[in-house]
């Protein structure tokens, strides 16, 4: 029996609009290309397609993607490409792919960087209309985020993985969000955000998988809203409040209505209205990558949000 779909409140709709970039090819799902493409095509016509973002895939697998997508009839897909160590070669491939207009457009690329030179070199060879998301280690945020801003690019934060050591500390995430807000750098997150609120869950889909403490996407985007709001009115970002929000696992502390989102897990409740939520989503926290689209939505149903 399918789960009934409830119309989301206005604030929840804005909060979650296009928030999940589907990365079914990547662990822990690690699907075959055809299965991931089929899933995405189904999600595009589902009642909750409004929460769906880009289809994420390695640039090196574009030919495989086209073969899998040839029988899928829909509007052009938005893709985000993961670059290999052959950055220049991959970007040339992206440019050629976009020129051919083959039913999909790769309008963003993502890559890990270790220093400012890698950011500058990549920015110089980006194809027209393609935005770069530079994945930065949290401990390098103060060093590299100014360079991301200088080249008018975006940042990427890895928030987990299939082992406990892959999950950054709350304080590291809070400081990363604060730095992005203060610099005006848009960011996305990736990995380990399958669940809305901070919780202990299996780290993979294997039977008897090891469990670990995982960050929540509602936590992360609420923290981003707090940071954006502080900067918007000229205040210092309250990093301690961001960490408190990221640590909060209590569903009762969140309220989404037709006018605003309210989080009451700190000493003073935080209320973010629709306009500010919309601006935060476009100007600071863009999306998160997940190997599952269904799991985050299922959890939202269980929390009586959808």
Give the pLDDT confidence score for residue 231 in this predicted structure. 97
Express each pLDDT in 151-183 by its tens digit: 999 999 999 999 999 999 999 999 999 999 999
Question: Would 56 be classed as within a structural domain?
Answer: yes
Question: Would 233 be classed as within a structural domain?
Answer: yes
Express each pLDDT in 48-92 by its tens digit: 999 999 999 999 999 999 999 876 656 789 999 999 999 999 999
Give the pLDDT confidence score for residue 71 in this predicted structure. 66
Alpha-carbon span 301 to 3, nearest angstrom: 8
- CATH number at 236 reads 3.20.20
Q: Is residue 32 over pLDDT 50?
A: yes
Question: Would 140 be classed as within a structural domain?
Answer: yes
Question: Would 306 be classed as within a structural domain?
Answer: no
Give the pLDDT confidence score for residue 1 in this predicted structure. 42
For the chain, how many structural domains are there in total? Answer: 1
Rg of the chain over Cα atoms, rounded to whole angstroms, equals: 19
Question: Would 215 be classed as within a structural domain?
Answer: yes
Alpha-carbon span 278 to 12, nearest angstrom: 11
Lowest mean pLDDT among 3-7, 104-108, 235-239, 260-264: 3-7
Lowest mean pLDDT among 72-81, 131-140, 285-294: 72-81
Question: Would 250 be classed as within a structural domain?
Answer: yes
Predicted confidence band of residue 3 (pLDDT cuts 50, 70, 90): low
Q: How many angstroms separate the most distant Cα atoms in the chain? A: 55
Question: Would 238 be classed as within a structural domain?
Answer: yes
Predicted confidence band of residue 4 (pLDDT cuts 50, 70, 90): low
Q: Is residue 8 over pLDDT 70?
A: yes
For 117, 138, 258, 259, the CA distances from 275, given in Å and listed in that order, are 37, 29, 12, 9
Alpha-carbon span 27 to 161, nearest angstrom: 8
Query: Percentage of the chain surpassing pLDDT 70?
Result: 97
Predicted confidence band of residue 128 (pLDDT cuts 50, 70, 90): very high
Domain hosting 36: range is 10-301
**Mean confidence (pLDDT) of the chain:** 95
For 105, 157, 243, the CA distances from 131, given in Å and listed in that order, are 12, 16, 29
Give the pLDDT confidence score for residue 171 in this predicted structure. 97
What pTM was computed for the model? 0.95
Express each pLDDT in 202-211 by its tens digit: 999 998 889 9
Q: Can you tell me the mean pLDDT for 221-249?
A: 97
Alpha-carbon span 218 to 277, nearest angstrom: 13
Q: Is residue 264 over pLDDT 70?
A: yes
CB count, 10 Å around CB of 210? Answer: 11
Q: What are phi and psi of 71, to 5 degrees?
A: -100, 5
Express each pLDDT in 265-278 by its tens digit: 998 999 999 999 99
Q: What is the dihedral of CA 172, 178, 180, 184, to 10 degrees?
A: 180
Question: Would 4 be classed as within a structural domain?
Answer: no
Alpha-carbon span 162 to 202, nearest angstrom: 9
Six-digit token pair at 181?
A: 């807000």
Are 82 and 110 a contacting pair, CB within 8 Å?
yes
Are 256 and 16 a contacting pair, CB within 8 Å?
no
* Residue (of 237, 229, 133) closest to 182 by Cα position: 237
């Amino acid at each position: 029996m399918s789960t009934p779909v409830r119309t989301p409140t206005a604030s929840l709709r804005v909060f979650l609009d296009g928030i999940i970039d589907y990365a079914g090819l990547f662990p822990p799902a690690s699907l075959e290309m055809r299965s991931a493409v089929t899933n995405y095509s189904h999600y595009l016509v589902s009642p909750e397609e409004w929460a769906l973002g880009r289809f994420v895939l390695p640039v090196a697998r574009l030919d495989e993607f086209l073969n899998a997508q040839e029988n899928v009839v829909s509007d052009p897909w938005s893709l985000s490409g993961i670059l290999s160590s052959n950055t220049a070669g991959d970007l040339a491939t992206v440019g050629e792919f976009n020129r051919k207009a083959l039913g999909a457009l790769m309008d963003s690329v993502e890559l890990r960087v270790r220093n400012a030179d890698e950011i500058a070199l990549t920015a110089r060879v980006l194809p027209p209309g393609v935005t770069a998301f530079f994945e930065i280690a949290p401990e390098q945020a103060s060093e590299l985020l100014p360079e991301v801003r200088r080249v008018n690019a975006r940042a990427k934060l890895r928030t987990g993985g299939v082992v406990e050591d892959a999950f950054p500390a709350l304080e590291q995430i809070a400081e990363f969000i604060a730095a992005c807000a203060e610099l005006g750098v848009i960011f996305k997150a990736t990995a380990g955000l399958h669940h809305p609120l901070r919780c202990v869950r299996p780290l993979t889909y294997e039977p008897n998988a090891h469990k670990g403490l995982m960050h929540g996407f509602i936590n992360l985007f609420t923290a981003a809203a707090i940071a954006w709001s502080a900067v918007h009115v000229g205040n210092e970002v309250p990093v301690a409040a961001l960490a408190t929000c990221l640590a909060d696992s209590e569903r009762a502390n969140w309220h989404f209505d037709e006018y605003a989102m309210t989080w009451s897990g700190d000493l003073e409740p935080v209320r973010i209205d629709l306009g500010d939520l919309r601006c935060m989503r476009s100007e600071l926290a863009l999306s998160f990558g997940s190997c599952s689209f269904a799991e985050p939505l299922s959890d939202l149903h269980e929390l009586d949000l959808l």
